């Protein structure tokens, strides 16, 4: 059985040439345990934002300003296992520092499996 090894990430149909190690937290409903004085444990729910993190090499053709200003995008995370997710209304959450590599963090609506 094949395990995840590589991810392909694209935004608005443009592919990012990412380095190994991209991750996606799907977001959605998160639960927090709430211990009670009678020894039982309940929970409460809250919406958690998705978070896609990736690193791309700084190249001549990398649209750094476009990535910095990214809002209202459709971002797709495709695993080499054949599974894919989309983050709609996505936006870049971090300020971008340039160097040898560029780290990018994206959030938006909870990820939906395609």
Return the HEC string of 1-60: CCCCCCEEEEECCEEECCCCCCEEECCEEEEEEEECCCCCEEEEEEEECCEEEEEEECCC
**Cβ neighbours of residue 54 closer than 8 Å, sequence gap 6 or more:** 7, 9, 16, 18, 19, 21, 22, 23, 103, 104
pLDDT at 101 over 90: yes
pTM exceeds 0.85, yes or no: yes
Angle in degrees, CA 76, 46, 92, rounded to 5? 35
pLDDT digits (tens, 9 = 90+) for 21-39: 999 999 999 999 999 999 9
First to last CA, the chain: 21
Question: Residues 13-28: what's their mean pLDDT?
Answer: 94
Class of domain 7-113: mainly beta
pLDDT confidence band for 12 (50 / 70 / 90) = very high
pLDDT at 6: 86
Buried b (16+ CB within 10 A) or exposed e, 53-84: bbebeeeeeeeeeebeebeebebbbbbeeeee
pLDDT at 5: 82
């Amino acid at each position: 059985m094949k395990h995840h090894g590589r991810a392909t990430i694209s935004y608005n149909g443009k592919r990012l040439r990412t380095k190994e190690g991209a991750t996606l937290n799907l977001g959605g409903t998160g639960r927090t345990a709430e211990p009670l004085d009678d020894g039982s444990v309940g929970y409460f729910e809250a919406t958690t934002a998705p978070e896609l993190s990736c690193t791309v090499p700084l190249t001549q053709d990398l649209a750094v300003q476009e990535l910095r200003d990214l809002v209202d995008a459709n971002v797709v995370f495709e695993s080499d296992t054949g599974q894919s997710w989309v983050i709609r209304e996505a936006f870049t959450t971090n300020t971008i520092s340039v160097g040898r590599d560029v780290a990018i963090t994206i959030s938006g609506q909870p990820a939906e499996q395609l």
